[in-house]
């Protein structure tokens, strides 16, 4: 597997902004994930070569940060917060509800590859607990009803 | 500056400014438990075993990451520290299999050591251990990885990042799922890989070559010098005097690096490390004489009688000697005294293994002999004096010699055939079998470096001592004693009580070595005087 | 009405735009500072203000700035800590969402004070809408000459870039943040050396929290003395208190240092949800010791909260009513620290995993009588023995929960269920 020309362009632009290849790694992984849905294992070597850094470091970083997916995820990725403030306001009920509705356990992806459900730590939205982050948008003050409505709106 | 002192556990000791508390303690024989600290690597401070109390500092501090200050008062043995260290050790053990009886590291494991020290035998850990992926998996030619034994001290990571700069070892994932590994599908690709086995404080990285060959408590050690190249890395020869049958007949089971800041720091290359089998494999144990109708074994003394006769019989200028840069300074000096000085034998150094082009910017030298510098000095050889194999014939003189003594080298077969056809008497003095030995009229068995004491001079001119590890095999003798035996038979006065005496004489007679003594070679060797 | 330094624009329409910002006096202070003051004067004013870091540790900001070596020939960096991942903490998000230019103005003045020409805002990867907003604000600021070459026409250059994290609480720890900015795993560094001397790319670096920097324009506008007078004790100014959990009106409330915790919960946040009784409060983000209901009659400044046995931390106030099972509440916190331990040092890596296993076992109904003591002992084995404060942050809640609510833990172990009837889920 190779880096696409488009990705290479993005990386070239990033390289301009940072003093060395290593500093480009995090933004680069964000870009790879945006293009490929996850960080394909086969792209770690080419990415390392392009940034002139060791592949081991790429893999260290891609496995350290929670938001980098080392395996494919659904078209939609639900991050539901399970931390204290959300839990105090019913996050566990919502988590179970989501799991039921989707027919999967947290950490899994629906069989049709549509939706991945992840239970995450505090999202910094505790004043709107319980909360979830879905495809880049926060959904505040969730109830079972709003969750159902959000699910219904997904393609 | 006034004296700079620190007090550790009530002992006031002089300290070097800028040094860590841990190094200061260790240098003064005070043991502070530690795992991640290694004197050859950058400080990581991650294991937390070396926590100490420093008076005036509220929190415990890591001794490896704390620089000494004048007047500092440190405690590593009070209740508070012991309690903390006990906690840390317990943390390291909860996800460790603790199945020492089936672990190859048993006997040289840091966990085992401190397990005793700290005295935590009971486990309060009532949970399942974190499951790691790799159990005893090869990660390179020489190294085996067992992730569940790893305590994530990152020594191997730092070694491949900072020392070899090849980066193979890495810690993937985070938190208690963190795992030591090579890149998925990758392997170790540096020529110093087995050092990570040495520095791994537990049984997570073991040596594929050594695994389960021998329990370490059966091993004895002798300090020595690696014979693999001109660097002269300091080693310990690990041998098993009692049970060679456990290791396929080999007495020597491994080389381990010995620290020498001037030569190899703490490290050893894989080539040198795994060169040890030549000590036991394909050895020449007895003298042999080729006669009409075949080869016959004979006593060494009889072989020397024969060789003395031949030396006597050979016309002046028609005897040549191919010396070896694997010989010790002492052996070379004896050869010089007898062959070059007393008998006027033409002495040549064959240029084999000297210019291999295989070198790096760390330890590996292109000259694959341990004592080329010594040979050059003792025989006054210049840069271009070693003779390339294809020019040996010319080097031997206008006419082919009547008698040719070859030390260890394997002659190019065309030359060998030519010599035999021309009626040259071929004498092989050596340690291991080769085609030249097989073709020689007379074979004189020599001991290897591990079977004698002596010194080598490394490429920089550092003279370093090695000790006897294992006794000679069969009739094999040190080369100097062969020369001495010949001298006796030839009525030449050349009496050496042993290598130490030779070294003394050598330092008295050879300018470059003047002023050196066995004492001055301890512990890190000493430089020759500039030629 | 109390002083509003940070939140005064929060209720304005389009408060995040440079137009509204400038129309309400924004960037005037930075402009004046760059033209009229020396960096040393700025630092002095900040020292006078008693501004203390809002990221959690409360370190005096002016003092921190003064640790930058004088006459260094290396570049100096300013890293803005917008990682905001401490459970119960969401104040910085409000600033970035509603008044990003206030942060930028704070950055300009602070960078000027420390001689920095490149600032990075390290923001957590999950804050996607906030990242967008921040980037837009930066673009606006460049467009108006507030950033870039010759800021406000002065001789001072400043570049500001946003750097996005990717889901790791530990990257809020300042040296892990630097590692992450350099493209590595977020492993905290050993200190010393401190970042002010050896920081980003080995250069002198100041790391400040978003809220900390957002205070700087007001300090330079109205003076350090004025700012100090707003606060209490040796803590100047106001704080954005984030109240969450079982209150009627969760949210951020800007109140002066020394404000009453009771008032914050029962008046500003509207009191306890569903008319229930208060049980416990974590006053400064998940990492600080919990307070029982009878311990909350305190003032919210660094000194007073410390006297009460807890810490002001990030000023994230998490409120729990009497329907809360403290065993399960603690399980949430341990789960968090176990998830977020970087795994570098053994007490935190192994200790948090062990604690989680014990508490999960208790919750499953397999608790053993000695578990409470073992949990406490494990936490004490972590406390104070780790590379970075995350270890302490994991240990302190455990110790305070099992000490203050010991009965509940023992009850759970003995009866294999919560002591709280119909606990919240
Ligand atoms: C585990 C951990 C997480 C932290 N997270 C944050 C954070 O998200 N935001 C923050 O500003 N400070 C955080 N801090 C504190 C920072 O290390 C640092 O003290 C702070 O950014 C300094 O800025 P200040 O002086 O302006 O508060 C954290 C500390 C620790 C130990
Ligand atoms: S494999 Fe050994 S050296 Fe490497 S991190 Fe693990 S314990 Fe340390
Ligand atoms: S205390 Fe925890 S988070 Fe901090 S360095 Fe150690 S393992 Fe990492
Ligand atoms: S606890 Fe869920 S957003 Fe903070
Ligand atoms: S030896 Fe000091 S922390 Fe590991």
- Of the candidates C350, C377, C381, the beta carbon closest to that of B176 is on C350
Cβ–Cβ contact C323 with A under 8 A? no
Q: Do B172 and A54 touch (CB under 8 A)?
A: no
Task: Tell me if chain C has a CB within 8 Å of the CB of A27.
Answer: yes
The residue-averaged pLDDT of B302-315 equals 95
Q: What distance in Å separates the CA atoms of residue C33 and residue C109, rounded to the nearest whole number?
A: 7
At B98 the pLDDT is 82
Task: Using CA coordinates, name the residue in chain A closest to C159.
Answer: A17
pLDDT score at C388: 98
Instruction: Identify whether C9 is part of a domain.
Output: no
Q: Are residues C46 and C181 in the same domain?
A: yes
Question: CATH number, domain at C265?
Answer: 3.10.20.600
Residues A132, A139: Cα–Cα separation, whole Å: 5
Q: Which of C166, C195, C230 is the last residue of a domain?
A: C230
Say if residue C309 is in the same domain as residue C392.
no
**Residue B271: which H helix or E strand, with range?**
helix B270-273
Measured between beta carbons, the chain A residues lying within 8 angstroms of B169 are 56
CA–CA distance, C220 with C110 (Å, rounded to integer): 10
CATH class, B100-105+128-279 region? alpha beta
| pLDDT score of C123 | 98
| DSSP structure class, residue B430 | E
Number of domains in chain C: 3
Taking 70 as the pLDDT cut, the residues of chain C under it are 1
DSSP C55: S
Strands (E) located in B208-283: 220-225, 234-239, 252-257
* B246 band by pLDDT with thresholds 50, 70 and 90: low
SS3 for C206?
strand
Q: Which ligand is located closest to the Cα atom of residue B168? A: 2
pLDDT in tens, A123-142: 999 999 999 999 999 999 99
How far, in Å, is the centroid of ligand 5 from the Cα of B61?
A: 10
Please report the atom of ligand 4 found closest to the CA of residue A81: 2
Rounded to two decimals, the ipTM of the complex is 0.97
Q: Please, what sign has the CA dihedral across residues C92, C95, C96, C100?
A: negative
Q: Are residues C296 and C314 in the same domain?
A: yes
Contact assignment for B170 to A56 by CB distance below 8 Å? yes
Nearest CB partner across the interface for B48, out of C168, C357, C386: C386
Q: What is the pLDDT of residues B459-492, one digit of tens each?
A: 999 999 999 999 999 999 999 999 999 999 999 9
State residue B315's pLDDT score: 82
Atom of ligand 4 nearest to the CA of C89: 4
Percent of chain B with pLDDT over 90: 83
Tens digits of per-residue pLDDT, B349-358? 999 999 999 9
Does residue C143 share a domain with residue C30? yes
Range of the domain at C381: 326-415
pLDDT tens for residues B375-403?
999 999 998 899 999 999 999 888 899 99
In the predicted structure, residue B243 carries a pLDDT above the cut 70:
no
C52 & C180 share domain? yes
**Together in a domain, C32 and C167:** yes
Q: Which of A47-56, A106-115, B487-496 has the lowest mean pLDDT?
A: B487-496
Domain spans of chain B, in order of start: 4-92, 100-105+128-279, 287-527
Exposed (0-12), middle (13-18) or buried (19+): which is C315, by Cβ within 10 Å? buried
Q: What is the DSSP string of B336-368?
A: IIIIIIIT--EEE-B-SSSS-----SSS--S--
* Same domain assignment for residues C267 and C411: no
pLDDT recorded at residue B119? 62
Q: How far is A62 from chain B (nearest CA, A)?
A: 8
- Among partner residues A21, A84, A124, which is closest to C124 by beta-carbon distance? A124
Burial readout B50-65 (b: 16 or more C-beta within 10 A, e: otherwise) = bbbbbeeeeebbbbbb
Mean pLDDT across A17-25: 94
Number of H helices and number of E strands within chain A?
7, 4
Average pLDDT over every residue of B247-272: 94
Residue C13 counted as domain residue = no
The three-state secondary structure class of C91 is helix
At B18-59, the pLDDT tens digits run: 999 999 999 999 999 999 999 999 999 999 999 999 999 999
Decide the pairing of beta strands B403-407 and B425-430: parallel
Neighbours of B327 (CB within 10 A): 28
Query: Between B129 and B310, where is the model more confident?
Result: B310
Percent share of chain A, pLDDT over 90: 97
Query: In three state form, how does the secondary structure of A1-67 look?
Result: CCCCHHHHHHHHHHHHHCCCHHHHHHHHHHHHHHHHCCCCHHHHHHHHHHHCCCHHHHHHHHHHCCC
pLDDT at residue B430 tops 50? yes
Instruction: Let me know: does C282 contact C88? Beta carbons within 8 Å.
Output: yes
Q: Does B183 touch chain A (CB under 8 A)?
A: yes
Distance from the first to the final alpha carbon of chain B: 38
Q: Is residue C403 part of a domain?
A: yes
Answer yes or no: is the C-beta of A119 below 6 A from any ligand 4 atom: no
CA B450 – CA B228 distance, rounded (Å) = 13
Statement to judge: residues C316 and C331 lie in one domain: no
Cα–Cα distance between C169 and B235 in angstroms, integer?
46
The CATH label, of 1.10.1520.10, 3.20.20.30, 3.10.20.740, 3.40.50.300, for the domain at B4-92 is 3.10.20.740
- Residue to test with chain B: of C346, C355, C392, most B Cβ within 10 A: C346
Is residue B117 very low, low, confident or very high in pLDDT (cuts 50, 70, 90)? low
CA distances from C76 to B426, C52, C207 (A): 75, 21, 11
Spatial contact of A142 and A94, defined as CB atoms under 8 Å apart:
yes
Last-in-domain residue among C178, C203, C230: C230
Distance of CA A122 to the CA centre of its chain: 15
Largest CA distance in chain A: 50
Q: Do C164 and C149 contact (CB within 8 A), yes or no?
A: no
**Closest ligand 4 atom number to CA of residue A83:** 1
Helix (H, G, I), strand (E, B) or coil at C138: helix
Do the domain assignments include residue C79? Answer: yes
Question: Which of C173, C386, C392 to mutate for ligand 3's pocket (most ligand atoms within 8 Å of CB)?
Answer: C386
Q: Ligand 1 within 6 A of C208 CB? A: yes
What is the C-alpha separation between B197 and B204, in angstroms, rounded?
A: 8
**C139 and C269 housed in the same domain:** no
Whether B130 contacts B174, CB under 8 Å: no
Q: What CATH code is carried by the domain that includes residue C153?
A: 3.40.50.11540
From CA C110, how far away is CA C115, in angstroms rounded? 9
Assess whether the C-beta atom of A23 lies below 6 angstroms from ligand 4. no
CATH at residue C410? 1.20.1440.230
pLDDT value of residue C54: 97
Residue B100's pLDDT band (cuts 50, 70, 90): confident
d(CA B364, CA B3): 41
Q: State residue B210 phi and psi, 5-degree precision.
A: -95, -20
Are C381 and B45 in contact (CB < 8 Å)?
no
Q: Do C333 and C314 fall within a single domain?
A: no
Given this model, what pLDDT does residue C1 score?
A: 46
Q: How far is CA B48 from CA B7, B43, B187, C345, in A?
A: 21, 12, 29, 7
With contact defined as beta carbons under 8 Å apart, do C288 and C298 qualify? Answer: no
Last-in-domain residue among C321, C352, C368 = C321
Q: Which CATH number fits domain B287-527: 3.40.50.740, 2.20.25.90, 3.30.70.2080, 3.40.50.720?
A: 3.40.50.740
Check pLDDT > 70 for residue B277. yes
Rounded Cα–Cα distance for residues C423 and C411 (Å): 14
Three-state secondary structure call for residue B137: strand
Residues C272 and C335 in one domain: no
Q: Go through chain A and tell me how many residues it has.
A: 155
C214 lies in the same domain as C250: no
* Token pair of C397 as six digits: 């809640």
Q: Vertex B512, ends B511 and B516: CA angle to 5°? A: 95
């Amino acid at each position: 597997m190779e880096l696409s020309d488009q990705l290479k362009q993005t990386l070239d632009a990033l390289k301009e902004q940072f003093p060395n290849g290593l500093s480009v790694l995090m933004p680069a992984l964000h870009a790879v994930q945006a293009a490929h849905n996850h960080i394909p294992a086969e792209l770690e070597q080419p990415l390392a070569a392009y940034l002139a850094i060791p592949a081991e470091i790429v893999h260290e970083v891609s496995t350290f940060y929670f938001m980098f997916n080392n395996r494919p995820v659904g078209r939609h990725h639900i991050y539901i917060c399970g931390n204290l403030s959300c839990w105090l306001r019913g996050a566990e009920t919502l988590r179970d509800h989501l799991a039921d509705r989707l027919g999967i356990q947290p950490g899994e992806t629906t069989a049709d590859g549509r939706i991945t459900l992840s239970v995450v730590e505090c999202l910094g939205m505790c004043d709107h607990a319980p909360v979830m982050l879905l495809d880049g948008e926060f959904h505040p003050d969730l109830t079972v009803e709003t969750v159902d409505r959000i699910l219904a709106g997904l393609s | 500056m006034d004296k700079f002192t620190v007090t550790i556990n009530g002992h006031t000791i002089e300290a070097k400014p800028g040094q860590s508390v841990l190094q200061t303690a260790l240098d003064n024989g005070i043991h502070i438990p530690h795992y991640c600290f290694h004197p050859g690597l950058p400080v990581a401070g991650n294991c937390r075993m070396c926590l100490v109390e420093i008076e005036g500092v509220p929190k415990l501090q890591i001794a490896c990451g704390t620089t000494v200050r004048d007047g500092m008062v440190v405690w590593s043995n009070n209740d508070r520290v012991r309690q903390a260290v006990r906690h840390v050790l317990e943390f390291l053990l909860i996800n460790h299999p603790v199945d020492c009886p089936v672990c190859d590291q048993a006997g040289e494991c840091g966990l085992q050591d401190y397990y005793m020290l700290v005295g935590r035998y009971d486990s309060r850990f009532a949970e399942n251990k974190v499951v790691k992926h790799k159990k005893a998996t090869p990660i390179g030619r020489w190294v085996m990885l067992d992730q569940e034994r790893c305590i994530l001290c990152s020594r191997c990571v730092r070694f491949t990042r900072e020392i070899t700069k090849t980066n193979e070892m890495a810690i993937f994932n985070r938190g208690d799922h963190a795992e030591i590994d090579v890149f998925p599908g990758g392997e170790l690709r540096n020529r110093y890989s087995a050092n990570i086995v040495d520095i791994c404080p537990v049984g997570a990285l073991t040596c594929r070559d050594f695994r389960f060959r021998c329990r370490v408590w059966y091993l004895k050690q002798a300090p020595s010098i690696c014979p693999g190249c001109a660097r002269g890395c300091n080693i310990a020869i690990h041998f098993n005097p009692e049970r060679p049958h456990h290791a396929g007949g080999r007495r020597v089971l491994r080389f381990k690096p010995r620290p020498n800041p001037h030569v190899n720091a703490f490290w050893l290359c894989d080539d040198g490390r795994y060169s040890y089998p030549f000590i036991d494999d394909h050895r020449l144990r007895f003298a042999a004489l080729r006669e009409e109708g075949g080869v016959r074994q004979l006593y060494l003394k009889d072989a020397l009688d024969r060789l003395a006769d031949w030396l006597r019989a050979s016309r002046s200028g028609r005897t040549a000697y191919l010396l070896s840069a694997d010989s010790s300074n002492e052996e070379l000096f004896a050869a010089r005294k007898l062959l070059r000085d007393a008998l006027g034998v033409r002495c040549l150094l064959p240029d084999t293994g000297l210019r291999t082009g295989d070198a790096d910017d760390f330890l590996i030298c292109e000259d694959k002999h341990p004592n080329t510098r010594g040979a050059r000095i003792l025989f006054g050889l210049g840069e271009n004096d070693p003779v390339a194999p294809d020019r040996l014939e010319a080097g031997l003189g206008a006419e082919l010699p009547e008698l040719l003594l070859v030390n260890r080298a394997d002659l190019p077969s065309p030359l060998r055939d030519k010599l035999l056809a021309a009626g040259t008497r071929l004498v092989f003095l050596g340690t291991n079998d080769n085609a030249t030995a097989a073709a020689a009229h007379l074979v004189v068995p020599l001991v290897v470096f591990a079977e004698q004491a002596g010194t080598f001079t490394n490429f920089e001119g550092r003279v370093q001592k090695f000790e006897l590890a294992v006794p000679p095999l069969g009739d094999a003798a040190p080369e100097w004693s062969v020369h001495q035996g010949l001298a006796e038979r030839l009525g030449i006065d050349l009496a050496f009580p042993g290598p130490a005496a030779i070294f003394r004489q050598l330092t008295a007679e050879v300018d470059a070595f003047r002023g050196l003594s066995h004492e001055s070679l301890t512990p890190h060797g000493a430089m020759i005087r500039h030629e | 009405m109390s002083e509003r330094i940070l939140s005064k624009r929060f209720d304005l329409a389009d408060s995040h735009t440079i137009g509204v910002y400038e129309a309400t006096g924004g960037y005037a202070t930075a402009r004046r500072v760059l033209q009229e003051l020396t960096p040393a004067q700025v630092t002095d004013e900040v020292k006078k203000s008693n501004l203390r870091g809002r990221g959690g540790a409360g370190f005096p900001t002016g003092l921190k700035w003064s640790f930058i070596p004088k006459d260094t020939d290396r570049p100096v960096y300013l890293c803005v800590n917008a990682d905001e991942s401490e459970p119960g903490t969401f104040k910085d998000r409000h600033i970035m969402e509603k008044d990003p230019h206030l942060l930028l103005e704070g950055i300009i003045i602070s960078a000027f004070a420390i001689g920095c020409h490149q600032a990075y805002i390290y923001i957590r990867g999950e804050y996607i809408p906030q990242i967008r907003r921040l980037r837009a604000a930066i673009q606006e600021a460049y467009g108006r000459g507030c950033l870039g070459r010759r800021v406000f026409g002065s001789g001072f250059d400043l570049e500001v870039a946003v750097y996005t994290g990717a889901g790791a609480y530990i990257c809020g720890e300042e040296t892990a943040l630097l590692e992450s900015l350099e493209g590595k795993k977020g492993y905290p560094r050993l200190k010393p050396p401190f970042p002010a001397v050896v920081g980003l790319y080995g250069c002198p670096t100041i790391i400040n929290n978003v809220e900390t920097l957002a205070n700087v324009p007001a300090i330079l506008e109205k003076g350090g003395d004025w700012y100090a007078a707003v606060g209490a004790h040796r803590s100047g100014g106001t704080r954005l208190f984030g109240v969450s959990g079982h209150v009627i009106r969760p949210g951020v409330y800007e109140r002066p240092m020394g404000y009453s915790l009771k008032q914050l919960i029962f008046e500003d946040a509207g009191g306890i949800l569903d008319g229930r009784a208060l049980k416990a409060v974590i006053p400064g983000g998940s990492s600080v010791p919990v307070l029982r209901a009878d311990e909350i009659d305190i003032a919210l400044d660094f000194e007073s909260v410390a006297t009460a046995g807890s810490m002001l931390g990030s000023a994230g106030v998490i409120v729990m009513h009497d329907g809360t099972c403290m065993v399960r509440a603690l399980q949430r916190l341990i789960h968090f620290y176990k998830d977020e331990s970087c795994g570098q040092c053994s007490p935190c890596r192994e200790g948090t995993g062990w604690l989680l296993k014990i508490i999960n076992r208790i919750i499953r109904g397999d608790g053993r009588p000695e578990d409470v003591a073992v949990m406490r002992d494990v936490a004490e084995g972590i406390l104070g023995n780790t590379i970075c404060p995350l270890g302490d942050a994991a240990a302190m809640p455990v110790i305070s929960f099992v000490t203050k609510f010991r009965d509940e833990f023992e009850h759970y172990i003995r009866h294999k269920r919560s002591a709280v009837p119909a606990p919240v889920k």
